[in-house]
Structure 1
Amino acid sequence: METYANALLYAIPFFTFLVLFEILYGHLVKKQTYRALDTIASLSSGLTNIIKDSLGLVIMIVSYPFLLSKISIFTIENTWVVYIVAFIAIDFASYWNHRLSHHVNYFWNQHVIHHSSEEFNLACALRQSISNFFGYVALLLIPAALVGVPSEVIGLLLPIHLFAQFWYHTKHIGKLGFLEYIIVTPSQHRVHHAINDIYLDKNLAAIFCIWDRMFGTFQEELDEVPPVYGVLKPAKTWNPVLINFQHLWRLIVDAWRTNNWWDKFRIWFMPTGWRPQDVKEKYPVEIIEDPYGYEKYHTNPSKLLISFSIAQFVITLLLILFMFFNYGNIGFNNLLIYGLIMFLGIYSYTSVMDGTKYSWVFESIRTLLGLYIIYTTSDWFGVNEFFSQGSNLVALYFIISFASTLYFLFFEQREIKESYA
């Protein structure tokens, strides 16, 4: 996990730079694909994902090394051929994992966050899940295990394979000629993120589009059908933590409400969106039927609120980068506390973006916990070793953040809501 944390020290600034570059480019060509709060929500979702992954918060059903030790038929030497075989195996597994997420109710919950943005840009690529509780990807890597691909190779290529999917989340690159027949392109992935009927559940491949063409899930982007982005059951919140669990909560509620015991069981494994008939009739859920007539979620933010939200994201990002920088010295138990404080902060400020009144509760818990740590240790997880006034600055940040939260929730947000009347 420490190796992964060190890699993120370089990956996070790089991805952030590319997002800022795309924003600048969109401004220069007068084709902006970003909205402020949507962008902050996307970037903040990325932060929640890397915190969870860096702490290893997942229940491993079966690990790849275990699988390799039990079913491998051959032993492959660690040469360049192994890396090619491994990358293809990972991409094949990714296709079927992705297809599973789009077609089974329970698994859709771990993927819905990635589709929840109603914009399409590099930032939305960072909307990654924190609701994937169980590690089962190794089961999809059985072909690699059978031929004896070393676990070290799989471990090295998995993050590279994930990072390689970042670049094609953009509207600024058109079709790419012959490459459209080899790799996943921005055009193909725009189709994948669209909610138009003709585009739903298409183009599920990650790197090589051959899988979509082989298994009947390929769809070309059509000039006469401009993609509309988002999910059919709109999230209607900027809070990435809530988005991660919205679908799961709907499944739990539907399973509780239905009178049919068979439906209580099978709802988890039915096609995405399936609901028991009795619940569906009594408790209808909003579904977008006309993508072109749907109005995107917005909360009419003031410039001050936008500035507050950007500042919250930037400071949270810096605190997380420090966590990765000092990862080995903080210790696992303290890392869990650190991660909890970061989660509370992201939950709080994205809820303020929504104007959700109860978010002050989460901000209060975060502030008290943060100040308690600084008071009892006279430090902030070792920051004073690098900067003598570091913990004092962190304490000041918590106090200002808490006061600002109260202001936006009980003063400015009230004025904004009255402006709708």
Structure 2
Amino acid sequence: MEAYGQILLIAMPAFFVLVLFEKFWGMWKGFDTVPMNDMISSLSSGITNVTKDVLGLSIVVISYSWLHSKFGFFEIKATWLVYLIAFFALDFAGYWTHRIAHEYNIFWNNHIIHHSSEEFNLACALRQSISQILKIFAVFLIPAAILGVPAEVIAIVAPLHLFAQFWYHTRHIGKMGFLEKIIVTPSHHRVHHAINPEYLDKNYGQIFIFWDRWFGTFQAEREDIPPVYGVTRPVQTWNPIKINFMHLWLLIQDAWRAKNWGDKLKIWFMPLGWRPADVAAKHPVYKIQDVYHFEKYNPVLGKPLLVWSFCQLIALLSLLSYLFANLAAIGAPGIFYYGGFVFLTVYAFTELMDRNPKAWVWELLKAAYAFYFIISTGDWFDLSKVFPGGLSIFVGYLLVSFVLSLWFSFRKESLELAS
């Protein structure tokens, strides 16, 4: 937990700088692929994901350490070759877990957030799940366990393997020659994120593309078919917490409404998109039919609200960095209370971006939550001890945030004039 938090203290600002670089590069080239509202939503999703991971809010059904102890027929030392084998093993496991997420209803809920952006940029790479509570990834690492790859090697290689999937989420890099046959490139991944019929459910590879070539899921990007991004059932929100659970909610509703008991159970394990016939007839769900003619989700946001949303993002990144830097000092259960504030903040300001007239209620709940801890402890998780004057700044932020949330919630006409 603490080690991962320290890694993220370096990784978060690095990713943020790269996202901004892509934004400014696109503006300079006259091809801006990073709309501010989309970027803020994506980075907010990344914040919720890393908070969940650092706090360990998931259950590992089968750990790699257990597999290694049960299936490891060899004992090998951690040489460079072992690290290489581990990297390939992780990528093989990643291919299959990724593919399963796209092919079965019950697993899609864990992955929909990553495909929810109707843009394709570095920021959308950070749209990662908070709904994946049960982790079965280690099952696909049985070959590595049999070969005797030590658990500590997997622990080191796994974050590197994850971070290596960031760079190819861009539209600014074309095809890359012979590398197209070996690794996943931006061209390959543009296909994967596209909802064009020709591109759906293709290119599941995470680092190496030859898995797709071997298992029949490869599709090259075609010049005559420009990729269109998103999901065929549009999420219609900037709120990443809502996105994380909307498919699950649909499945629950469909299972409840289905008359046939077999369908109530069957729906969870059927191919993605399957719905009981009686439910689909009575409760249709909008699905994009023509990917070249649909309206992207883009509620009118005035410049003041857009700027304030970006300021909220910066404030939250600063507060999150404080949490990750002081995990041991804050300790449990404090870190979980702090995580609750992070989630409330994301929910509140993304609801405001959605132009929800009741967004101020979430902001009030966030402020009340924070003030409860400030009043009951006299501080905000020892902030004033680490940063003299920090508590006053934090209280000021809470008050300003609430006042502006009220203003933007009730003065919508000013937003339209400002835009």
Short-chain TM bin: over 0.9
CA distance in 2, matches of 1:179, 1:83: 22
Query: Which residue does the alignment assign to 1:193?
Result: 193
Percent of pairs with identical residues: 52
Query: Which residue does the alignment assign to 1:410?
Result: 410
Q: Does residue 1:259 correspond to 2:259, yes or no?
A: yes
Shift of 1:386: 2.4
Query: Which residue does the alignment assign to 2:155?
Result: 155
Opposite residue 260 of structure 2, the aligned amino acid is N
CA distance in 2, matches of 1:56, 1:266: 31
Query: Which residue does the alignment assign to 2:249?
Result: 249
Preserved CA contact (<8 Å) 2:196 2:227: yes
Q: Does residue 1:286 correspond to 2:286, yes or no?
A: yes
CA distance in 2, matches of 1:74, 1:272: 39
TM-score by length of 2: 0.98
CA distance in 2, matches of 1:362, 1:82: 49
Question: What are the residue-to-residue correspondences of 1:353-368 with 2, within 5 Å?
Answer: 353-368=353-368
CA distance in 2, matches of 1:78, 1:389: 47
Q: Does residue 1:29 correspond to 2:45, yes or no?
A: no
CA distance in 1, matches of 2:406, 2:137: 43
Structure 1 counterpart SS, 2:198: helix
CA distance in 2, matches of 1:117, 1:151: 35
Query: Which residue does the alignment assign to 1:13?
Result: 13
CA distance in 2, matches of 1:399, 1:418: 26
Aligned length: 419
Shift of 1:357: 2.5
Shift of 1:158: 0.7
CA distance in 2, matches of 1:358, 1:277: 36
Shift of 1:310: 0.3
CA distance in 1, matches of 2:259, 2:127: 36
Shift of 1:177: 0.1
Structure 2 residue ranges without an equivalent (≥5): none
Question: What are the residue-to-residue correspondences of 1:312-391 with 2, within 5 Å?
Answer: 312-391=312-391
Opposite residue 242 of structure 1, the aligned amino acid is K
Q: What is the Cα-based RMSD across aligned positions, in Å? A: 1.3
CA distance in 2, matches of 1:208, 1:60: 26
TM-score by length of 1: 0.98
Question: What are the residue-to-residue correspondences of 1:128-207 with 2, within 5 Å?
Answer: 128-207=128-207
Q: Does residue 1:105 correspond to 2:128, yes or no?
A: no
CA distance in 2, matches of 1:166, 1:319: 24
Structure 2 counterpart SS, 1:293: coil
Structure 2 counterpart SS, 1:141: helix
Instruction: Write the deviation string for residues 196-246 of structure 1: whole angstroms up to 9, x where unpaired.
Output: 000001000000001000000000000000000000000000000000011
Opposite residue 23 of structure 2, the aligned amino acid is I
CA distance in 2, matches of 1:419, 1:163: 38
Preserved CA contact (<8 Å) 1:378 1:391: no
CA distance in 2, matches of 1:118, 1:137: 28
Query: Which residue does the alignment assign to 2:68?
Result: 68
Opposite residue 127 of structure 1, the aligned amino acid is R
CA distance in 2, matches of 1:415, 1:107: 42
Opposite residue 68 of structure 2, the aligned amino acid is L
Select between 246-255 and 66-75 the one with higher mean Cα deviation: 66-75
Moved over 6 A (4+): 417-420
Query: Which residue does the alignment assign to 2:95?
Result: 95
CA distance in 1, matches of 2:62, 2:347: 31
